[in-house]
Structure 1
């Protein structure tokens, strides 16, 4: 069968869909991986998996409906050109416009996956701006138009089904996958270091990801426990008004509040050097990959009691849940680990056990293949 995987960037294909592509190729399917920004190197990497890399026109963040319609028409032609029989779209805009393109291209089997509901469904501590409300209405309307034309919609957690499909009474067959999973061989267990205690944040440096709560907590902890270290891995986003600015970042580094190594491609090595993973996100996550990676290596978790994040923690067993927006609760839980270092190891071991049971990409891909009716 000719199957199109339609995403956004080549990085997303190679970062999140490699195991699925390998599984599909092993089953004898012809896989076409659609992305917007392939370069010779990434094309070679996709071809090495046994798939075909297809550049397609796509405006990932733009809001111009005319451009989106033109790009959808071009995608229709590409789907017809390669005689695609089944589509699997992921991320918001590919799910909407990729599904529409599949309908008009005559693709019979149309599947989609949302890994979280994203910015428009993220509650803001100071209220939701008019523009965000408008974007949410448009997005929901487009979902209402496209979801009923799907063979199946795959979500990662029950909160997303309740707040999107059930709340807006959208007629679509829904399946809950849970975690996307990891190649656990890439994240081998190592005992957590406790001298010094080192906290780790991984994510885009945006307010919705909880970076400001993490920084506030770091400042308070540093006053009482100056030897404790705080590491931040993630890019700054200068175009996002809610992002940490470059000037703020430099000041935090200069004041020795945080360690920021810049872009790294060896995340697992940084997790190994950490003691506890912290993600105070209130973004509408699906099932955070960074938390899965930390758990697989054996790290205790501090994260929010929010959709997507809460699924990764058994309270008091492998970590703690804190309220969204609450730096003070993050401080309390950090101080608990500092004063109870044996729990860093104990809870980290429980995280490792949970990861082995829940995050094995091989088992999860078998389930995903079944949900795509490709057993």
Structure 2
């Protein structure tokens, strides 16, 4: 039986972004193993019938000893499992796992670049040095003969082709992680005040502070809109919102902080627009795909990944990065232009049906698997 191993830096991320691909692989007769750090969601991974292996993996840690332990554990597992194909997801698995694959009997490798993070926005000397090192690591990790690299947007693809010397023949474009359209029944907009929702990890780079600033401006303008913040802080990211900030926002009352939610389809059905003013190194933000599936208009930034998730002017609006006043203008426009807002939502659903169906995304992944394994 053909053995496929997924390596992801979070079991939650595997379940939310790669589960349908793993299930499709199982349906094709592959034996699927999953490597993630230990965590609360590991039992759920096993309940889906996958063999799980726990490897400590810090998403943002830079302790050389801990990073070396992660690399060695992956290398040892690859020798023990001897997989036919390894599917690496997110930055550290791609870098460490790709090199470990080259030093072990792994036949084929899929490297999924779900955003490049902040490393390629180098400003200081230290950041430029880090970019140089990471570029060289990408070059080594993706240098094997039977490697396919999946990008979610053209900007990331073109950047790694340029700075990491990635051959164009290895680059594949698949737009995001997909969404189960049957989970998102399009409903009419709810009655009552217009609701704009920000739903993501609560990171500065995701634009949550810009959203709160825009909400303040809208209140000053007396625009009738309720602004909702959905998500939780991420202690592994230096730009995360701190607990005292959340408490201050709640006390101020300018936004409603709802915390982490799993019922995204129900949440979006109860709002009128979805807002993500991100300047993070996005691949293709799943929340924008989910917004399209729910038939809701989108406001996001003119930034790689974000702009790739919408058709500007048809399914949503683009705003400049880090400009809360322009963000407030866009929200106010969709509050006041209800017919345009509803038309954008309807077009968004059509976009989701044509481009973002999870069945389409899974099929594209399996085609890459078959091509590599038959080489």
Which of the five TM-score ranges fits, normalised by the shorter chain? over 0.9
Residue 129 of structure 1 and its aligned partner are, at CA, apart by 4.0
Aligned to 2:135: 140
Aligned to 1:287: 284
Q: Deviations over 1:198-232 (max 9, x none)?
A: 10101122221111221111101112235410000
Q: 2:164, 2:36 → 1: CA distance?
A: 30
Structure 1 residue aligned with 2:154, among 154, 158, 164?
158
Residue 34 of structure 1 and its aligned partner are, at CA, apart by 0.7
Q: 2:239, 2:310 → 1: CA distance?
A: 27
Equivalent runs, 1:67-78 vs 2, <5 Å: 67-78=66-77
Residue 25 of structure 1 and its aligned partner are, at CA, apart by 0.8
Q: 1:130, 1:265 → 2: CA distance?
A: 41
Aligned to 2:42: 42
Q: Secondary structure at the match of 1:302?
A: strand
Structure 2 residue runs of 5 or longer lacking an equivalent are: none
Residue 330 of structure 1 and its aligned partner are, at CA, apart by 1.0
Aligned to 1:57: 56
Aligned to 1:336: 333
Structure 1 residue runs of 5 or longer lacking an equivalent are: none
Q: What TM-score comes out, normalization by structure 1 length? A: 0.92
Q: What TM-score comes out, normalization by structure 2 length? A: 0.92
Q: 2:235, 2:72 → 1: CA distance?
A: 32
Q: 1:6, 1:240 → 2: CA distance?
A: 20
Q: Secondary structure at the match of 2:299?
A: strand
Equivalent runs, 1:220-239 vs 2, <5 Å: 220-225=217-222, 227-237=224-234
Question: Which runs of at least 4 in structure 1 moved beyond 6 Å after TM superposition?
Answer: none
Q: Secondary structure at the match of 2:119?
A: helix
Residue 137 of structure 1 and its aligned partner are, at CA, apart by 2.1
Q: Secondary structure at the match of 2:143?
A: helix
Q: 2:334, 2:261 → 1: CA distance?
A: 27
Residue 238 of structure 1 and its aligned partner are, at CA, apart by 5.3
Q: Secondary structure at the match of 2:102?
A: helix
Q: Secondary structure at the match of 1:353?
A: helix
Equivalent runs, 1:1-375 vs 2, <5 Å: 1-39=2-40, 42-43=42-43, 45-122=44-121, 128-149=123-144, 151-171=147-167, 173-193=170-190, 195-225=192-222, 227-237=224-234, 240-373=237-370
Cα distance change, pair 238–65 in 1 and its aligned pair in 2 (3 A)? closer
Residue 306 of structure 1 and its aligned partner are, at CA, apart by 0.8
Q: Secondary structure at the match of 2:34?
A: strand
Residue 148 of structure 1 and its aligned partner are, at CA, apart by 1.3
The number of residues matched between the two structures is 369
- Once the two structures are overlaid, the 10-residue window that deviates more, 262-271 or 235-244, is 235-244
Q: Deviations over 1:137-183 (max 9, x none)?
A: 22112112211125111111110011222244334611111122111
User: Aligned-residue CA RMSD in angstroms?
Assistant: 2.0
- Once the two structures are overlaid, the 10-residue window that deviates more, 197-206 or 78-87, is 78-87
